[in-house]
């Protein structure tokens, strides 16, 4: 965090009081914006409290760093920044229960693709929405989120393009790109620890897509930062990306991840148990590194993950004539031969999953849907028609697993056997590749 003197201390006190769970139930619609200037960097510190908006608590907390922390940057931030998070405080009287959810947003694998993200919400806090609604696993309502409604929910905005693994000191002045996601991650967690998270009794690290992969890659290190006596577990939603050939027979995703790891200097923040045996690019895939995770983890993933079908199985580069375009927008548009290819992808996905080996502490909810990221959406997390496995919703499965009420390791039958799926349908004007 930045600033000096009483202004900094006031900003820090306001942020701390929110994190520790001050309740705003019953307060009027409004917002409080505190703005302080840092003489050291001529950057601004913003603390936004969006109190009560249409029945949803929304909080944005963006803090820029001091000169003493000059190694920490977002991908394209001109002003050095500690991080950007949204916090929904827990109900008054509840014990300290931090729930971290890391935003998704893919990755950038080289200078060109990283420059394209630099001035977007995925590279600069200046472009990030100041408000964000919490639903699904982030909801504060017990009827929509029965096991985690009264937790401190903290959403970490995604900014670095490497699932917070980048660590390159040198900066090319021609591009002004900063590959330092690992430092951003550590700074955010350590700052929250200083505000009271170190007294947590229970904690969950979660994430969707690239954020889901973040929760896998950082699971053990996150656990190591919290009290020994705390119950700490991880949850990955649509984060189990697999290494497999695309429809042309090329290893497109393998090459992409290898280039991404090299560009961001990520190898030093990938498990040495993997990098000592394999090239660092392989160790970005969970199938090669997650078997070493000691912290209990729950994997929620569609076997026909819509992002992986679009970008791993049938990326645009492997389909120059657009044969897969309609299929990638809606699984009902897929031809028999395309369904056959997707069934083969499912088998590869399950093979990659089996590489983890058995573990009684692991949770699995692998349904046969064409979907991506299901825990943050109310309809797929916990509703009257949510996807089911063994008559169990994702919310119930995760809750039972976290509180040790019952284990849950279920893998669905092949598509189209599950009538409860919420299969993703993309807009016809939307380009299916990211």
* Residues carrying an active site annotation: 209, 305, 372
DSSP for 299-356, written as a single string:
EEEETT-HHHIIIIIS-GGG-TT-TTHHHHHBGGG--HHHHHHHHHHHHHHHHHHHTT
Q: Is residue 111 a contact partner of residue 263, using CB atoms and an 8 Å limit? A: yes
Tokens 């300290």 -> residue:
96
Count of helices and strands (H, E) across the chain: 13, 11
Q: CA 300, CA 263: separation in Å to the nearest integer?
A: 29
Q: CA 254, CA 244: separation in Å to the nearest integer?
A: 8
Select from 63, 60, 41 the least CA-distant residue to 51: 60
Q: Which run of H or E residues covers position 189?
A: helix 181-194
Cα–Cα distances in angstroms (integers) from residue 332 to residues 10, 340, 347, 419, in the given order: 56, 13, 20, 13
Tokens 């027979």 -> residue:
249
**Which residues have a Cβ under 8 Å from the Cβ of 161 and sit 6 or more positions away?**
75, 105, 106, 107, 108, 113, 114, 117, 122, 123, 181, 260, 264
Select from 235, 256, 262, 236 the least CA-distant residue to 244: 256
Please, which residues bridge with residue 204 across strands? Answer: 99, 233
């Amino acid at each position: 965090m930045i600033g000096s003197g009483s202004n900094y201390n006031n900003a820090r006190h306001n942020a701390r009081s929110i994190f520790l769970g001050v309740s705003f139930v019953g307060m009027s619609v409004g917002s409080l914006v505190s703005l302080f200037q840092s003489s050291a960097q001529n950057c601004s510190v913003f603390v936004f409290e969006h109190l009560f908006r249409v029945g949803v608590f929304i909080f944005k907390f963006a803090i820029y760093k001091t000169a003493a922390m000059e190694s920490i940057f977002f991908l394209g931030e001109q002003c050095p920044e500690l991080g950007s998070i949204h916090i929904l405080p827990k109900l008054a009287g509840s014990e300290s229960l931090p729930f971290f959810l890391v935003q998704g947003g893919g990755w950038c694998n080289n200078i060109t693709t990283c420059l394209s993200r630099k001035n977007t919400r995925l590279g600069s806090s200046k472009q990030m929405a100041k408000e964000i609604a919490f639903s699904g696993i982030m909801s504060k309502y017990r009827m929509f989120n029965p096991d985690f409604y009264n937790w401190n929910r903290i959403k970490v905005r995604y900014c670095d393009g490497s699932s917070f693994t980048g660590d390159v000191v040198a900066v090319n002045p021609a591009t002004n790109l900063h590959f330092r996601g690992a430092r951003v991650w550590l700074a955010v967690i350590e700052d929250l620890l200083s505000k009271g998270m170190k007294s947590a009794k229970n904690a969950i690290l979660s994430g969707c897509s690239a954020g889901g992969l973040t929760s896998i890659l950082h699971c053990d290190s996150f656990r190591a930062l919290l009290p020994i006596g705390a119950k700490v577990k991880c949850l990955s939603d649509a984060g189990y990306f697999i290494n497999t050939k695309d429809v042309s027979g090329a290893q497109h995703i393998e090459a992409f991840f290898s280039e991404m790891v090299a560009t961001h200097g990520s190898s030093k923040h990938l498990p040495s148990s993997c990098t000592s045996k394999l090239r660092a690019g392989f160790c970005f895939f969970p199938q090669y590194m997650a078997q070493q995770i000691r912290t209990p983890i729950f994997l929620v993933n569609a076997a026909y993950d819509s992002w992986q079908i679009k970008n791993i199985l049938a990326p645009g580069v492997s389909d120059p004539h657009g044969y897969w375009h309609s299929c990638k927008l809606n699984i009902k548009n897929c031809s028999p031969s395309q369904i056959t290819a997707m069934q083969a992808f499912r088998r590869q996905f399950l093979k990659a999953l089996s590489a983890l080996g058995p573990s009684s502490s692991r949770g699995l909810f692998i349904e046969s849907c064409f979907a991506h990221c299901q825990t943050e959406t109310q309809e797929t997390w916990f509703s009257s028609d949510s996807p089911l496995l063994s008559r169990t919703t994702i919310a119930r499965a995760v809750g039972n697993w976290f509180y040790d009420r019952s284990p849950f390791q279920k893998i669905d039958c092949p598509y189209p056997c599950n009538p409860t799926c919420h299969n993703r349908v993309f807009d016809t004007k939307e380009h299916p590749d990211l």
